[in-house]
A and B are shown apart, each in its own frame.
Chain A
Amino acid sequence: MLHHADEILLALRRRVAAIEVQGAGRPAGRGLALGIGALDRMLGGGLALGALHEITPAAPSDFGAAVSFALALLARALAAEGAGESLSPAIRGRAVFLPPDPAAGQSLSPAIRGRAGSPPPPAAGQNQRNKFPLPRRDIHAGRAVLWIEPEAAEFEGGALYGPGLELLGLPLARVIGLRVAHERDGAWAMEEALRCRAIAAVVGEFAREKNTLDLTMLRRLALAAGEGGGLGLLLRHYACPLPSPAMTRSEIAAAPGARDAFGGLGRPAIVLSLVRNRRGPTGRWLLSWDCHERAFHSVPLSLDLAPAAAHGPPDAAPRVRTG
């Protein structure tokens, strides 16, 4: 009997230790799944919540792609909160009139096709409206996201534009923007926001080439994220080769997207290069973002993308980087 009690005590101690390490008492390994099996497995169940993730554009002209990747992650984080139906009528109306994206139906990669229980792509038809009753746009229904942008970055890359955010699938009512004069203020605000449990994700933009975030500051941010349990995204305008406590580091490059049925611009596509991953191997994927489902899709490579394919097909076994 005594032996049994010791075992229970030991198990309890382990659990307490695990909770203390985790900071906020959340079970380890919670992640924000990107919706692509191979990628999520590699990330250990998606982008880890309660951790920092770095996003940088591969080249200055890829900044828009990096921003939209961050926005897509926010949209997914909010969708995971249960805000799935709170898109504005404008967006859902768009789903009504657009024909289904041919890329979604014809050229699904095996990973997507094999995914069980994935919602079907929105069907064309007027009855779509009735299937989704008008959402109660109550910002208190769930958590919010905070986007911190330094004032100086506005000349470089523009400012967040509301209608565009909605088109990417992000409900505007739950986005809070903060403009800071100095980047160290941005770091302070990011730390405070990451601690707040009412914030699902924080994006901190850091525009200066010279690194204002030292290792101490980054460590503070990582700890704060662990405490609050939200997703911390560092959007750097310039790649920073220094070590950091971030869980992953992704380089985003724009890629030619799909065409829609009329030959216009279809879903946007990006090349995601996971250059650092603490939970597993790194790799490179070509993704497209579906703003209706709020999910990433893996895009099969076409001849146009031969350069990207040189690093290996998207669903093939990725390279493993050590260290």
Chain B
Amino acid sequence: MVKGALRIAAMNDAAARLGLTVGTALADARARHPALEVAPSDPAADQGLLEAIADWCDRYTPLAGIDAPAGVMLDVTGCTHLFGGEAALARDIVTRLAAQGLRARVGIADTPSCAWAVARYGVWADMPVIRGEPKGRSLTSKLAGTDSPSPLPGGERSRAQRAGEGGRTSTDGFEPPHPTPSVSTSPRRGEVEEATSAGSMYSGRAPASRNDEDRHVVIVPPGAMREALAPLPLAALRLDPETVAALADVGLNRIADVLDLPRATLAARFDASFLRRLDQALGREDEPITPKRPAPSYMAEQHFAEPIARERDVLGTIARLSIRLGYAMEARGEGARLIELALFRTDGKVHRLAVGAGAPVHEANRISRLFADRLAGLGEACDPGFGYDLVRLSAPVTERCAPVQTSLAADHGAADHAGELGHLVDRLGARFGLRRVTRLVPQDTHIPEFAVAAVPAHAHLACAASRLRGAAEVQAKAVPERDATEPATQDTLAPARPARLFARPERIEAIAEVPDGPPVRFRWRRVLHEVTAAEGPERIALEWWRDAAGSALTRDYFRIETRAGMRVWLYREGLYGRETDAPRWFLHGLFG
């Protein structure tokens, strides 16, 4: 709803050919073309798709950022040779996205701003421009001849989508079911990519010819940004509409018009952001891009011409990659605390699995074992679909890892035990979750339920291991305050405590002396037990200062032996007469 009417937010090519424009009221559009097919717009789904595409773009470079509303910005500096050059990389993006039903436009330039501009407003040449011929591009040709939408000033939300014959249109407050991701740029050699959805997914559209792909790609040769930007409209500089309108009022419509104007004049008359945008586009000012996920320090990946789907193949690939990753980390004396596996499915979905390690790990067999356990623990949850065409192993969190001399002797030293134990804890954690592998650490409280805390053994081991290595900073991170291996209890006369404690004390019926005698007999789980010996009471008052309502009752604990020899820990809740008239009895734990 904009201004009280449903309006068109985005449309496809067929609709654009009918002469509709974005912002037209839906009622007007329907009056002109009753056959319009309308779908409500869904910005959340658009955002979701955009994020999925950004994740997918991770395959080209680790530095992939989202450029809302419809673009992805990639830093391809130093990555292009892996794909056979910039033109091949861009073609690869267009082809793969087309296979997923998305139409992308790609711009590659020295600065993010310039790439952004040419991807949206640039005109694709018949052939990709070859580097070294900076002037050889006719950026103005072909504008009208393509079936892609002509650049629309002011925004990207109106990439037309080309659906079947019906001319699908979406309205404002409504958006296309296949939204319109676009754009990306990067600091130095940036690349802009823009995708418009092409018909319904997998609509059986004939594969685009090479020529077709090239028309969706604009590559600005290094240093030729001025020439590339000159013919573009000023809106390509990402200016706000008021500035564009103000510039148009004084007859400045194209970037070429302002390139040679005195800066002082421009700065005086227009918004300061205008000059900044211009400088960013021309590379006079740096513009950082924000990657969606931080770039890992170490990474190893493998592409597949034929997708792999069998678990055995995936595990084999992981084993090979972990050797490469391990070598890279070992060479710099580091080990990974967190290792991430990214499985890129052919249909664009990306599975990411992470395993943690209690101590820095760089041994290839350990890394691959961790992932084997993690995958086994997942079971069917990881659906390979039609297979993975890229597998990547990365180490986002690393730590210094001093080499340890291992002993050849049969009795292993403490260091060997520490390493093996740490690895076992990591593997159990990878399979069952790190929270399930615990170590019991005494706490500073007299409430029996809270007197011990189950701390993840993995953090605990890391702390102890770092002490072995003398790395104090890890310890500070792993365990917040006091050293968790030291007991917090200061008592010298430890009261008797059971070996097993029930998380919820079990209600029992007991017959006991009034007011505070031990029970004579009690019934637990429908069995009557005769008490032959009792120790107690041990009076434990709950923390009244935390109990505003005053409902916490004092507990009198008894250690009981029954006629059969069973020893249990019972308590009476409430002091007879003072706190309650009908105290209840509970069984809290089992002794040996």
Contacts and interface: CB of A to CB of B under 8 A. Distances in A.
Interface of A: 25, 61-65, 67-69, 71-72, 88-91, 93-94, 96-97, 137-144, 146, 154, 157-168, 172-173, 175-181, 185, 188-189, 192-193, 196-199, 253-257, 259, 263-265, 268-270, 289
B589 interface: yes
B451 interface: yes
25 contacts: A65-B565, A67-B499, A69-B592, A90-B492, A93-B492, A93-B493, A138-B464, A140-B418, A160-B440, A164-B497, A167-B496, A172-B442, A175-B440, A176-B425, A176-B437, A176-B457, A177-B438, A178-B432, A179-B432, A179-B436, A197-B412, A197-B416, A256-B565, A257-B561, A270-B565
A89 B486 CA distance: 10
B493 A94 contact: yes
A41 B444 CA distance: 45
B270 interface: no
B568 to A, nearest CB: 7
A161 B567 contact: no
B137 interface: no
Interface stretch (B64-72, B83-91, B169-177, B527-535): B527-535
A69 B566 CA distance: 13
| Candidate in B501, B532, B591 with the most chain A CB atoms within 10 angstroms | B591
Contacts of A61: 527, 529, 562, 564, 566
Contacts of A268: 567, 591-592
B475 to A, nearest CB: 14
B331 interface: no
Contact of B421 (A154, A199, A265): A199
Interface string B392-428: 0000000000000000001010111111110111011
Contacts of B464: 138-140
Contacts of B565: 65, 253-257, 269-270
B432 A265 contact: no
Contacts of B412: 197-198
B468 A64 contact: no
Contacts of A89: 487, 492
B454 A163 contact: no
A88 B499 contact: no
B501 to A, nearest CB: 4
Nearest to B502: A158
B212 to A, nearest CB: 53
B499 A254 contact: no
Given A139-B464, A289-B592, A163 B494 contact: yes
A163 B451 contact: yes
Interface in B430-473: 431-432, 436-442, 451-452, 454, 457, 461, 464-465, 468
A289 to B, nearest CB: 7
Contacts of B424: 146, 192-193, 196, 198-199
Given A173-B485, A256-B565, A90 B452 contact: no
B120 interface: no
B432 A67 contact: no
Contacts of A175: 439-440
Dominant secondary structure at the B interface:
mixed
A198 B489 CA distance: 28
Interface string B534-566: 010000000000000000000000010111111
A78 to B, nearest CB: 13
Contact of B533 (A62, A63, A265): A265
| Candidate in A64, A88, A185 with the most chain B CB atoms within 10 angstroms | A64
Nearest to A186: B432
Interface string B510-532: 00000000000000000101001
B39 to A, nearest CB: 43
Nearest to A289: B592
Q: Which 7 A-B pairs have the closest CB atoms?
A: A68-B592, A64-B590, A162-B452, A93-B492, A158-B500, A254-B565, A161-B501
Given A193-B424, A265-B559, A71 B499 contact: yes
A251 to B, nearest CB: 14
Contacts of A253: 565
Contact of A161 (B437, B485, B489, B497): B497
Nearest to B377: A185
B373 to A, nearest CB: 8
B494 A265 contact: no
Given A68-B591, A178-B436, A90 B489 contact: yes
Contact of A64 (B419, B486, B567): B567
Contacts of A72: 592
Given A65-B592, A89-B487, A198-B418, A167 B442 contact: no
Contacts of B564: 61, 254, 256
Contacts of B529: 61
| Candidate in B431, B486, B496, B500 with the most chain A CB atoms within 10 angstroms | B500
Contacts of A160: 440, 499-500
B491 interface: yes
Contacts of A142: 414, 417
A164 B589 contact: yes
A162 B440 contact: yes
A97 B503 contact: no
A278 to B, nearest CB: 26
B498 interface: yes
Given A63-B590, A197-B417, A289-B592, A180 B436 contact: yes
A94 B495 CA distance: 9
Contacts of A289: 592
Given A172-B440, A268-B567, A161 B499 contact: yes
A177 B499 CA distance: 14
A97 B437 contact: no
Nearest to A26: B410
Contacts of A167: 494, 496-497, 499
Contacts of B416: 197-198
Contacts of B563: 256
B533 A163 contact: no
Contact of B567 (A140, A143, A254): A254
A167 B520 CA distance: 26
B592 A270 contact: yes
A173 B561 contact: no
A264 B438 CA distance: 34
A164 B501 contact: yes
Nearest to A89: B492
B589 A177 contact: no
B451 A179 contact: no
Contacts of B568: 64
A162 B437 contact: no
A30 to B, nearest CB: 13
A97 B499 contact: no
A99 to B, nearest CB: 13
Nearest to B422: A198
A300 B136 CA distance: 105
B209 to A, nearest CB: 54
Given A97-B493, A265-B561, A196 B420 contact: yes
Contacts of B497: 161, 163-164, 167
Contacts of A196: 420-421, 423-424
A177 B417 contact: no
Contacts of B496: 167, 265
